[in-house]
């Protein structure tokens, strides 16, 4: 029988109730990770056996799910770690959060302590430790909706502070610091994450200020360091004069301010279930919410409410006084519709005060950020390059692929381009026969795809999603550094605009990242023309701007990678280039603006010669056309296996480099000529065809 969180807490409270509530060495006597009491050790052994049993069942279910699924999104780098990323049909919801919280409210007691939810048994080697610090309620369940995905890449402990506990804030800081130092002693190279919301954000910052010598990473959602500007401030004197019977409405008010009811409804609607099932889920969740609020009202005394609010106030002051000592990497998640705290303004303040701080703002989110179905915390962490298992972030081995639901979200946000261009994708078999689809693409890596950029890289989204959906292949794009870092603040798009490309596996261009991707058998997408091709001038459509010397041949040969040249055409069928860089540079203030803009981005190939070095950042002026169609052709794979010694020769590698370039040009010429015979090149003809044969039908193209 699977052991649930509530059973764990009940058992611990029963078996250790007589233990001293004194905090020893910074750890509670209820901790079952280090320094465990005899009763705690007894439970630990039982808990470990249940975890093992649960993992076996869950892996069996995941294997069954993957056999039934038509689309399985994984990546070679994570296959080595034996992770299955199929999503369970029984993912945790707000209903689960309400039920588990209600149980804790009704059966709570004892000192603060750590627990590990069963859903969080880690499946990755060398997983970082994640300490989840509680919000103002003290329950420690704020990550309930994220436990299952987080548990695959982290070793998770949650801090639980019972409602009637009166441990002062400095003692809570000592407790967490003691836990961190103990774990750091046992695993000194293991990063430790502190993930928290609201009050927990103050606790995390205070702890980080005490541990400048330890590798800590903070993820803070709407931290309460701005409590002095909070709408909750007036509650403190009000509660002091409130009759005890009147405080029953306070939990309802707090949950309204946290926007939990509306997020509960929206989370259910986002699942797009049948109408009756949607109604049933909302009804069940509403009942669970009502029961949860009732339980909170029953156990929350006026004294407890006052204590918690004063605790947040003191925590805010304590943390703010020590911000200068925080050296940890920090990721702040700010909600635009936080009714309790001015979180957006606070996020910007912390970004300026903390030396290693990133901020991401979510305009439609409320105070209870982690309880919103719209957010996938794993994807946020991956998208901000904030996940690592060592001292430094490794773009290859530290990458975690998007879950199926996260991929669908990204795909739907970009599907408009595929809908209006109806891409035709062709590949070449070993027999040199050209076929529609990706049958000519090898499944096993390493594979290097080398091709041309269309204007603004518009070919990327349909290409990457087609590989995922048709062949279950995740293309790891070699991207410009401006998508990962800026040399200075200015007018270039914020780095956060490119989080989705990191979620999809893009890495900044460098020889080191190239090597690491090849070493894990990745499918790598490379555009040698880079920015110069993506921001080409008038009359330069489909012209290659490659470096004169080979950049990738010998690296590919070292790993025996297959090289697949490809071409993409269609930009001239969807817009006309009205003003390019040369046109705009004739206007003095625009020329000056673009020169400053280019200084904000890392400049590549500064030691090269030719047009490829002209990487002026600018925004071309485009005139839309009635949409035509995108076309892709992947040539026959070029083998480098067994040619490592041969291709060490500069002359031989240059010959192969020129051959790849020639193959790309042939693909472009083939597509430009063949598309003239496509009866469905125009969107009007395609719409007529789909009206007759169904909107999901594949629109025909030219003979090939």
Answer yes or no: are the C-beta atoms of 328 and 302 closer than 8 Å: no
Average pLDDT rounded to a whole number, residues 157-178: 93
Written as six digits, the tokens of 183 are 């774990």
Residue 699 banded pLDDT, cuts 50, 70, 90: very high
Written as six digits, the tokens of 140 are 């420690």
Which residues fall within 8 angstroms of residue 379, CB to CB, at 6 or more apart? 402, 403, 406, 503
Is residue 574 predicted with pLDDT exceeding 90? yes
Answer yes or no: are the C-beta atoms of 478 and 504 closer than 8 Å: no
Tell me the H-state helices in 561-703.
Answer: 581-584, 588-599, 650-674, 683-693
Is residue 252 predicted with pLDDT exceeding 50? no
DSSP reduced 3-state for 113 = strand
Q: What was the pLDDT predicted at 126?
A: 85
Cα(346)–Cα(276) distance, integer angstroms: 42
Answer yes or no: are the C-beta atoms of 524 and 476 closer than 8 Å: yes
Answer yes or no: are the C-beta atoms of 501 and 480 closer than 8 Å: no
Answer yes or no: are the C-beta atoms of 340 and 334 closer than 8 Å: no
Average pLDDT rounded to a whole number, residues 409-437: 94
Is residue 31 predicted with pLDDT exceeding 90? no
Answer yes or no: are the C-beta atoms of 150 and 124 closer than 8 Å: no
Q: Which residue has the higher pLDDT, 596 or 43?
A: 596
Of 368-382, 479-493, 639-653, 690-704, give the lowest mean pLDDT range: 479-493
Answer yes or no: are the C-beta atoms of 570 and 631 closer than 8 Å: yes
Q: What is the pLDDT of residues 580-618, one digit of tens each?
A: 999 999 998 888 888 888 877 776 655 655 665 666 788
Closest CA to 329 of 226, 489, 222, 211: 211
Answer yes or no: are the C-beta atoms of 300 and 187 closer than 8 Å: no
Tell me the H-state helices in 20-93.
Answer: 38-68, 76-79
Q: What is the pLDDT of residues 276-314, one digit of tens each?
A: 666 666 676 666 666 656 655 555 666 777 888 889 999
Classify each residue of 227-236 as buried b or exposed e, where b means 16 or more C-beta atoms within 10 Å of its C-beta: beebebeebe
Cα(657)–Cα(528) distance, integer angstroms: 11
- pTM, 2 dp: 0.81
Q: What was the pLDDT predicted at 696?
A: 86
Is residue 71 predicted with pLDDT exceeding 70? no
CA 248 to chain centre: 39
Residue carrying structure tokens 């702890």: 207
Residue carrying structure tokens 């999809």: 504
Cα(352)–Cα(358) distance, integer angstroms: 10
Question: Taking phi first (over 0 means left), then psi (-120 to 50 degrees means alpha), and beta for anything else, what does residue 509 get?
Answer: beta
DSSP reduced 3-state for 145 = helix
Residue 687 banded pLDDT, cuts 50, 70, 90: very high
Average pLDDT rounded to a whole number, residues 361-388: 91
Strand 216-221 relative to strand 329-335, pairing? parallel
Task: Give pairs for 599-603: CB < 8 Å, separation 24+.
Answer: 599/487, 599/488, 599/490, 600/482, 600/486, 600/487, 600/488, 600/489, 600/490, 600/491, 600/492, 601/480, 601/481, 601/482, 601/486, 601/487, 601/492, 602/480, 602/481, 602/482, 602/485, 602/487
In terms of average pLDDT, the best of 77-81, 100-104, 226-230 is: 226-230
Cα(566)–Cα(189) distance, integer angstroms: 43
Q: Is 659 exposed, middle or buried (0-12, 13-18, 19+ CB in 10 A)?
A: middle
Average pLDDT rounded to a whole number, residues 365-376: 87
Cα(256)–Cα(247) distance, integer angstroms: 15
Q: What was the pLDDT predicted at 276?
A: 67
Cα(444)–Cα(278) distance, integer angstroms: 41
Is residue 389 predicted with pLDDT exceeding 60? yes
Cα(215)–Cα(208) distance, integer angstroms: 9
Strand 621-624 relative to strand 575-579, pairing? antiparallel
Cα(168)–Cα(307) distance, integer angstroms: 10
Residue 608's CB: how many other CB atoms inside 10 A?
A: 13
Residue 681 banded pLDDT, cuts 50, 70, 90: very high
Closest CA to 375 of 385, 359, 362: 362
Q: Maximum CA pair distance of the chain?
A: 88
Question: Percent helix, strand, coil in the chain (nearest 5)?
Answer: 45, 10, 40
> Considering the chain, what is the average pLDDT of its residues?
80
Q: What was the pLDDT predicted at 10?
A: 38
């Amino acid at each position: 029988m699977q052991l649930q969180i509530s059973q764990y807490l009940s058992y611990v409270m029963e078996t250790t109730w007589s233990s001293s509530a004194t905090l020893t060495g910074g750890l509670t006597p209820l901790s079952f990770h280090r320094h465990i009491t005899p009763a705690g050790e007894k439970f630990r052994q039982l808990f470990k056996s249940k975890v093992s049993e649960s993992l076996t069942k869950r892996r069996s279910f995941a294997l069954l799910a993957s056999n039934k699924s038509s689309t399985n999104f994984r990546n070679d780098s994570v296959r080595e770690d034996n992770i299955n990323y199929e999503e369970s049909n029984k993912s945790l919801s707000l209903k689960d959060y309400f039920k588990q919280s209600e149980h804790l409210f009704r059966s709570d007691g004892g000192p603060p302590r750590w627990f590990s939810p069963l859903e969080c048994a880690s499946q990755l080697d060398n997983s970082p430790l994640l300490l989840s610090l509680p919000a103002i309620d003290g329950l420690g369940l704020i990550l309930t909706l994220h436990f299952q995905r987080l548990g695959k890449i982290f070793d998770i402990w949650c801090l639980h502070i019972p409602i009637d506990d009166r441990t002062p804030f400095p003692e809570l800081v000592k407790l967490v610091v003691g836990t961190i130092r103990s774990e750091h002693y046992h695993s000194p190279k293991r990063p430790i994450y502190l993930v928290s919301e609201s009050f927990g954000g103050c606790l995390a910052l205070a702890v980080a200020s005490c541990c400048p010598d330890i590798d800590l990473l903070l993820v803070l959602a709407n931290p309460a360091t701005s409590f002095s500007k909070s709408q909750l401030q007036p509650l403190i004197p009000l509660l002091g004069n409130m009759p005890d019977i009147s405080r029953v409405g306070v939990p309802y008010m707090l949950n309204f301010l946290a926007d939990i009811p509306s997020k509960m409804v929206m989370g259910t609607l986002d699942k797009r279930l049948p109408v009756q099932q949607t109604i049933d889920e909302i009804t069940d969740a509403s009942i669970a919410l009502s029961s949860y609020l009732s339980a909170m009202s029953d156990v929350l005394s006026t004294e407890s409410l006052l204590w918690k609010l004063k605790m947040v106030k003191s925590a805010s002051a304590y943390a703010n006084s020590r911000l200068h000592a925080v050296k940890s990497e920090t990721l702040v998640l700010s909600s635009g519709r936080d009714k309790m705290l001015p979180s957006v303004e606070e996020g910007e303040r912390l970004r300026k005060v903390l030396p290693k701080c990133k901020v991401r703002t979510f305009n439609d989110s409320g105070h209870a950020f982690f309880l919103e179905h719209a957010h996938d915390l794993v994807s946020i962490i991956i998208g901000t390059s904030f996940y690592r298992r060592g001292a430094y972030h490794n773009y290859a081995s530290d990458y975690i692929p998007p879950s199926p639901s996260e991929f669908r979200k990204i795909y739907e946000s970009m599907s408009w381009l595929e809908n209006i261009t109806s891409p035709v994708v062709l590949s070449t078999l070993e027999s040199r026969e050209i076929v529609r689809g990706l049958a000519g693409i090898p499944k096993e890596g390493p594979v290097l795809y080398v091709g041309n950029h269309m204007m603004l890289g518009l070919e990327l989204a349909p290409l990457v999603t087609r590989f995922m959906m048709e062949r279950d292949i995740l293309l790891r794009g070699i991207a410009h550094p401006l998508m990962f870092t800026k040399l200075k603040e200015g007018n270039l798009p914020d780095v956060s605009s490119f989080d989705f490309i990191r979620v999809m596996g893009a890495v900044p261009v460098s020889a080191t990242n190239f090597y690491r991707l090849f070493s894990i058998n990745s499918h790598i997408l490379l555009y040698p023309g880079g920015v110069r091709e993506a921001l080409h001038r008038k009359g330069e459509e489909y012209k290659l701007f490659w470096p004169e010397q080979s950049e990738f041949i010998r690296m590919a040969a070292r790993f025996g990678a297959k090289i697949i040249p490809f071409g993409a055409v269609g930009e001239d069928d969807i817009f006309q280039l009205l003003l390019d860089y040369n046109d705009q540079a004739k206007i003095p203030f625009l020329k000056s603006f673009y020169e400053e803009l280019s200084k904000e981005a890392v400049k590549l190939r500064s030691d090269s010669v030719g047009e490829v070095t002209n990487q002026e950042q600018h925004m071309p002026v485009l005139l839309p056309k009635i949409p035509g169609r995108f076309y892709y052709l992947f040539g026959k794979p070029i083998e480098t296996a067994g040619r490592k010694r041969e291709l060490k020769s500069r002359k031989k590698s240059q010959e192969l480099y020129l051959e790849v370039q020639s193959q790309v040009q042939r693909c472009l010429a083939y597509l430009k000529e063949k598309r003239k015979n496509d009866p469905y090149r125009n969107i009007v003809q395609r719409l007529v065809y789909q009206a007759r044969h169904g909107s999901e039908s594949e629109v025909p193209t030219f003979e090939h």
